Amino acid sequence: MADRLFRFGVVAASAADAGEWAGLARRAEDLGYATFLTPDTLNTLPPLLALSAAASATTTIGLGTFVLAVPYRRPEQVAWEVAGMNFLSGGRFELGLGAGRPDAREDTARLGVPFGSYDERIRRLEEVIRQVRKWPAVGSAAPGPTPRVLIAAAGARMLGFAARNADTVAVALDAGTPEDGLAEPVRLLRLASDDFDRLEISTGLHVVGDEVPPWLARQLGPDVPEDSIAVLRGTPREMADRLLRRRDAYQASYITVNAMFAERLAPVVELLAGT
């Protein structure tokens, strides 16, 4: 990843029906996005089922979880289903993992599984990665490609773990974080990694443009700074230049965006993808 080429991903969680869901995936592919991604909550579509449907509707776009919460499933179950997803997608699958967001505890209670302590969830994350990397291919005698692994990380310990175990690190910062707030996470990744140049660094956009739906504005709150890492405004050229400066300063080259803003970001994708 020394060249830090730009990639862009669309994060989609739900649709009115199966046809609309397939259409979202095809549209992301047509717009030049590198990946079509799904979250892992009990209020959204089951991620691997949803991505299987997206795989059938598309031909080239990558498909990924953003991110699987490791407390929800046994490591062996994840490895088995990931091998199947990799086969069904023709090797286009990318595995995103996380130790569990704070409100995931409520989901684990509904699923009847333990949320676990932070230490236990880190160990579970390590075991999931180990199982995925050793699990035999399904559906074919030939071994399948090992999927890229993305880990969402915020604190120092998780960033260190991700630096040593992931191909991509999604730096999970609050929308109120100014752009220079990336400096410390990137410093920690550099210190912890034995090959920092191979790491792809990802950041997410919550808002693109000046028009923000009222419900999203309420969710973000009043204190989001103009230089927030989660907000991108201006002309396509101005937005592209800001992402270029961010890459130069903090090496962030994989940009994800909520599906509601996929069309609005598309001109920037056209300018930067693969450069």
Residues of the chain by 3-state class (helix, strand, coil), percent to 5: 45, 20, 35
Q: What is the CATH number of the domain that holds 228?
A: 3.20.20.30
3-class DSSP assignment, residue 179: helix
Residue 85 belongs to some domain of the structure: yes
pLDDT tens for 38-54 read: 999 999 999 999 999 99
Residue 1 belongs to some domain of the structure: no
Query: Is the backbone peptide bond immediately before 67 cis, with ω within 30 degrees of 0?
Result: yes
2: confidence class by pLDDT, cuts 50, 70, 90: low
Note the pLDDT of residue 221.
75
Residue 2 belongs to some domain of the structure: no
3-class DSSP assignment, residue 7: strand
Q: Give the distance, in angstroms, between the CA of residue 239 and the centroid of all CA atoms in the same chain.
A: 21
- What are the Cα distances from residue 257, in Å, to 71, 116, 203, 263? 25, 30, 9, 10
pLDDT tens for 234-263 read: 999 999 999 999 999 999 999 999 999 999
Residue 246 belongs to some domain of the structure: yes
Long-range contacts of 72-75 (CB under 8 A, 24+ apart): 72/40, 72/104, 72/107, 72/108, 72/111, 72/113, 75/124, 75/127, 75/128, 75/130, 75/131
Whether pLDDT at 96 is above 60: yes
Average pLDDT over residues 211-230: 78
Task: Tell me how far apart the alpha carbons of residues 250 and 180 are, in angstroms, rounded to a whole number.
Answer: 9
3-class DSSP assignment, residue 246: helix
Average pLDDT over residues 77-86: 95
Closest C-alpha among 77, 97, 92, 96 to residue 34: 92
9-23, 218-232, 240-254, range with the lowest pLDDT: 218-232
Mean pLDDT of all residues belonging to the chain: 93
Q: Does residue 217 or residue 235 have the better pLDDT?
A: 235
Tally of domains within the chain: 1
Tokens coding 86: 């990799």
Q: Could you list the residue range(s) of the whole structural domain that residue 121 is in?
A: 7-272
> Highest-confidence range of 26-40, 135-149, 165-179, by mean pLDDT?
26-40
Whether pLDDT at 160 is above 80: yes
